[in-house]
Structure 1
């Protein structure tokens, strides 16, 4: 055990030096690591109750209160009582606070790029896999990582395009035309979406996008179409894909559709299992030249009378 303890401490010393948390401020800013984490949380999630900030970061209530008081006096945040519950204090960034947080966010991203830049693609994959393993092993409840399903925020539609292009290139070997195909779908949604009949959802894990799906207009007024279902490899096995599909079914039924269709390709086994479990049935399949290869395009559908499975 002593050898294991020594190994953990040696890694801690090495990694804190690598990410630069030993200096007076994070990323050449006046903010300590803890202060930067508080600003990051507010920057990524908007208004938050102080109790939620405390829970997310595991901070002592008095320590957090003093920190927020300092931020408030420095013009970075405002604090006010919740309109729905006077016992709760809501914290939000000011314009100056958002600017400071943006500087920190860009500096953190730059530091990550600098760390990954000199590495080969294989070394990057091994590094991120090892980091993910550490995070999951040390999580208090392995296999029960919480996630949220939310509407897209600015930048999320671009993320959908980028992640589809990157993941299908890595996992299926498809070329850049796949990314162009996704970009066209997203552009149409962004410019001509009918909010009464179309919607998009993002799955988020630990504040980071981990999945997506869209419900858009189908071939006729009574038919909706499910599009752009994606779940990040690190978030698979958590039930996110099924939950995203269920969001589509509930929305499509609530907006008056009686049928929903989707198009996929053969070989995406995990997606097929999700669609079958949600009540979809294969209607048609045929081979086409797409994405720099030959694929079997499949069309699936289900009715929307009654409850989804």
Structure 2
């Protein structure tokens, strides 16, 4: 069966996106319950106030199962910039161009909405993701040691001026 990128909420998206994040970051970085709960809570809050004209949420579905996703939180887009969040791909889909497609959807949405800036928070060591961010012209603007995800890492902020 073919892949499809869907815009907007679909049933099971919150749980599956939290699962993808929790599993990946636990296996590779030792993140735990705090992180997965934070993803689930904040994604739930975002989708509860989701406005299609302002916000974007895309999922990658393969064989009717969510294998990744990305979001644009536009609630403060005109003041602070649009916030790119919850970008994740299952291990089976990484390296197959799906990240490019999801990122392109998100950035195109921001351009269409005349958002002037897009930013994201990540941490040092996620080399494939950083490569993709830089491919889309994001620039590292700040980094500091922190624990916002429940584990000590070098937190980074990337920004893209549109």
- TM-score norm. by structure 1 comes to 0.49
Give the distance between the partners of 2:63 and 2:77, measured in 1 at CA.
38
1:183 counterpart residue number: 40
Give the distance between the partners of 1:207 and 1:219, measured in 2 at CA.
33
Give the distance between the partners of 1:279 and 1:218, measured in 2 at CA.
23
Unaligned runs of 5+ in 1: 1-55, 57-145, 305-309
Q: Does structure 1 retain, via aligned residues, the 8 Å contact 2:59–2:69?
A: yes
Instruction: Give the C-alpha shift of residue 172 in structure 1.
Output: 1.1
Give the distance between the partners of 2:107 and 2:68, measured in 1 at CA.
17
> Deviations 1:73-106 (Å, cap 9, x if unpaired)?
xxxxxxxxxxxxxxxxxxxxxxxxxxxxxxxxxx
Instruction: Give the C-alpha shift of residue 287 in structure 1.
Output: 0.2
Is 1:254 matched up with 2:105?
no
Change (3 A) 1:258 1:292: closer
Change (3 A) 1:290 1:260: closer
Is 1:227 matched up with 2:85?
yes
2:54 counterpart residue number: 197
**Which protein shows a greater Rg?**
1
What does 1:268-287 align with in structure 2 at a 5 Å threshold? 268-287=126-145
What do you get for the CA RMSD once the two structures are aligned?
1.6
**Could you say which structure has the higher helix fraction?**
1
Give the distance between the partners of 2:99 and 2:135, measured in 1 at CA.
11
Give the distance between the partners of 2:120 and 2:150, measured in 1 at CA.
22
- TM-score norm. by structure 2 comes to 0.91
Give the distance between the partners of 2:116 and 2:102, measured in 1 at CA.
19
* Bigger shift: residues 236-245 or 215-224: 215-224
> Deviations 1:180-200 (Å, cap 9, x if unpaired)?
211222122121122211010
Give the distance between the partners of 1:173 and 1:270, measured in 2 at CA.
18
Q: Does structure 2 retain, via aligned residues, the 8 Å contact 1:212–1:228?
A: yes
Instruction: Give the C-alpha shift of residue 273 in structure 1.
Output: 0.6
Q: Does structure 2 retain, via aligned residues, the 8 Å contact 1:175–1:291?
A: no
1:300 counterpart residue number: 158
- RCO greater where, 1 or 2, for CA within 8 Å and sep 6 or more? 2
> Deviations 1:197-226 (Å, cap 9, x if unpaired)?
101000122332111100112645152111
Which SS does the other structure have where 1:293 is aligned? coil
Q: Provide the aligned length of Structure 1 versus Structure 2.
A: 160
**Could you say which structure has the higher strand fraction?**
2
Unaligned runs of 5+ in 2: none
Which SS does the other structure have where 2:141 is aligned? strand
Which SS does the other structure have where 2:131 is aligned? helix
Which SS does the other structure have where 1:158 is aligned? helix
What does 1:109-120 align with in structure 2 at a 5 Å threshold? none
Give the distance between the partners of 1:218 and 1:301, measured in 2 at CA.
17
2:65 counterpart residue number: 208
Which SS does the other structure have where 2:152 is aligned? strand
